[in-house]
Chain A
Amino acid sequence: MTGTDVLEISGLTVDIDGPNGTVRALDQVSLSVAAGEVFGLVGESGGGKSMLARSIVRQLPGRARVSGNVQVDGRDVFAMDAEALRQHRGAGAALCFQTPRSSLSPARTVGHQIVDRLRAHAGMDQAAAWAAALALFQQVGIREPERRLHTFPHEMSGGQCQRVMIALALACGPRLLLADEPSTGLDVTLTRDILALIAAQAGKDRGVIVISHDLAAIAAICDRIGVLETGRLVEIGPTAQLLTRPTHPYTKRLVAAVPDINQVRASTGAPVDDGGPLLAVENTDVVYRSRFGRQGHQALFDVSLSLQKGETLGIVGESGCGKSTLSRTIMGLIRPTRGRVMIDGVDLAGLGRSRLRHLRNRMQMVFQDPIDALNPRRSVAQIVADPLRLIRLDRAEQDRRIDAILTDVGLGPDYRKRRPHELSGGQAQRVGIARALVIDPALVVLDEPTSALDVTIQAQILELIRRLTARRDRGYLFVSHDLAIVRSICDRVMVLSEGRVVEEGPTDRLFQAPQDPYTRRLLAAVPSLPTVSERHAGNGG
Chain B
Amino acid sequence: MAVVDDLTHPPAKRIRRGGDGLIAAGSLILLIVLVGAIAAPWLSQWGPTEIDPIAFLEPPGPGHWLGTDGNGMDIWSRLLFAARIDLGVAVASVALAVIVGGTIGLATGYAGGWVEETTMRLLDIVQAFPVFILALTVAALLGNSLHTLILAIGLINAPAYARLMRAEVRSLKRHIYIEAAECAGNSRLSILFRHLLPNALTPLLVIAPLNCGWAILMLAGLSFLGLGVAVPTAEWGAMISTGAADVVGGRWWTSVFPGLALFITVLGFNLIGEGLLQRTGQRR
Interface assignment of A456: CB less than 8 Å from any CB of chain B: yes
Is the Cβ of B183 less than 8 Å from the Cβ of A357? no
Is the Cβ of B13 less than 8 Å from the Cβ of A20? yes
Is the Cβ of B185 less than 8 Å from the Cβ of A460? no
Is the Cβ of A367 less than 8 Å from the Cβ of B176? yes
Interface centre among B17, B180, B181, B188, by most chain A C-beta atoms within 10 angstroms, is: B180
Interface assignment of A418: CB less than 8 Å from any CB of chain B: yes
Is the Cβ of B17 less than 8 Å from the Cβ of A19? yes
Number of A-B pairs, beta carbon distance below 8 Å: 96
Is the Cβ of A361 less than 8 Å from the Cβ of B11? no
Closest chain B residue to A357, Cβ basis? B185
- Which residues 351-377 of A have a CB within 8 angstroms of B? 353-354, 357-358, 360-361, 364-365, 367-369, 372-377
- Which residues 181-202 of B have a CB within 8 angstroms of A? 181-188, 190, 195, 198-199
Interface assignment of B14: CB less than 8 Å from any CB of chain A: yes
- What's the Cα separation between A421 and B14 when bound, in Å? 8
Interface assignment of A426: CB less than 8 Å from any CB of chain B: yes
Interface assignment of A179: CB less than 8 Å from any CB of chain B: no
Contacts of B180 in A (CB 8 A): 365, 367, 373-374, 432, 435
Interface assignment of A424: CB less than 8 Å from any CB of chain B: yes
Interface assignment of A17: CB less than 8 Å from any CB of chain B: no
- What's the Cα separation between A365 and B175 when bound, in Å? 15
Question: Which one, B17, B183, B190, B198, contacts A364 given CB within 8 A?
Answer: B183
Given contacts A426-B9, A427-B9, contact A375 B195 (CB under 8 A): yes
Contacts of A390 in B (CB 8 A): 185
Is the Cβ of B179 less than 8 Å from the Cβ of A463? no
- Which residues 88-143 of A have a CB within 8 angstroms of B? none
Is the Cβ of A372 less than 8 Å from the Cβ of B7? no
Q: How far apart are A12's CB and chain B's nearest CB, in angstroms?
A: 25
Contacts of A463 in B (CB 8 A): 1-3
Contacts of B3 in A (CB 8 A): 410, 460, 463
Closest chain B residue to A354, Cβ basis? B187
Is the Cβ of B7 less than 8 Å from the Cβ of A386? no
Question: Which one, B9, B14, B15, contacts A424 given CB within 8 A?
Answer: B9
Interface assignment of A344: CB less than 8 Å from any CB of chain B: no
Mark interface residues in A153-187 (1 if CB within 8 Å of B CB, else 0). Answer: 00000000000000000000000000000000000
Question: Which one, B5, B177, B185, B199, contacts A456 given CB within 8 A?
Answer: B5
Q: How far apart are A341's CB and chain B's nearest CB, in angstroms?
A: 14
- What's the Cα separation between A369 and B2 when bound, in Å? 22
Interface assignment of A333: CB less than 8 Å from any CB of chain B: yes
Interface assignment of B12: CB less than 8 Å from any CB of chain A: yes
Question: Which one, A333, A377, A427, contacts B6 given CB within 8 A?
Answer: A427
- Which residues 239-268 of A have a CB within 8 angstroms of B? none
Closest chain B residue to A391, Cβ basis? B185
Contacts of A353 in B (CB 8 A): 188
- What's the Cα separation between A456 and B3 when bound, in Å? 10
Is the Cβ of B199 less than 8 Å from the Cβ of A333? no
Contacts of B186 in A (CB 8 A): 357, 386, 389
Contacts of B175 in A (CB 8 A): 372
Mark interface residues in B154-183 (1 if CB within 8 Å of A CB, else 0). Answer: 000000000000000000000111011111
- What's the Cα separation between A369 and B3 when bound, in Å? 20
Is the Cβ of B15 less than 8 Å from the Cβ of A19? yes
Contacts of B198 in A (CB 8 A): 377
- Which residues 293-341 of A have a CB within 8 angstroms of B? 328, 331, 333
Contacts of B121 in A (CB 8 A): none
- What's the Cα separation between A168 and B262 when bound, in Å? 55
Question: Which one, A331, A364, A372, A435, contacts B176 given CB within 8 A?
Answer: A372
Q: How far apart are A446's CB and chain B's nearest CB, in angstroms?
A: 12
Is the Cβ of B185 less than 8 Å from the Cβ of A369? no
- What's the Cα separation between A364 and B7 when bound, in Å? 24
- What's the Cα separation between A20 and B188 when bound, in Å? 40
Given contacts A422-B11, A460-B2, A463-B1, contact A20 B183 (CB under 8 A): no
Given contacts A369-B176, A427-B7, contact A360 B184 (CB under 8 A): yes
Sample of 10 A–B contacts (CB below 8 Å)? A19-B17, A333-B183, A364-B184, A367-B179, A372-B175, A372-B177, A423-B12, A426-B5, A457-B5, A460-B6
Q: List 11 other contacts, CB 8 Å, given A421-B14, A427-B6.
A: A333-B183, A364-B183, A367-B180, A372-B177, A421-B12, A422-B11, A423-B9, A423-B11, A426-B5, A426-B6, A435-B184
Chain A residues with a Cβ under 8 A of chain B: 19-20, 328, 331, 333, 353-354, 357-358, 360-361, 364-365, 367-369, 372-377, 386-387, 389-390, 410-411, 418, 421-424, 426-427, 430, 432, 435, 439, 456-457, 459-461, 463
9 nearest interchain CB pairs? A422-B11, A360-B185, A426-B6, A424-B9, A387-B184, A386-B184, A390-B185, A19-B16, A375-B177
Chain B residues with a Cβ under 8 A of chain A: 1-3, 5-7, 9, 11-17, 175-177, 179-188, 190, 195, 198-199
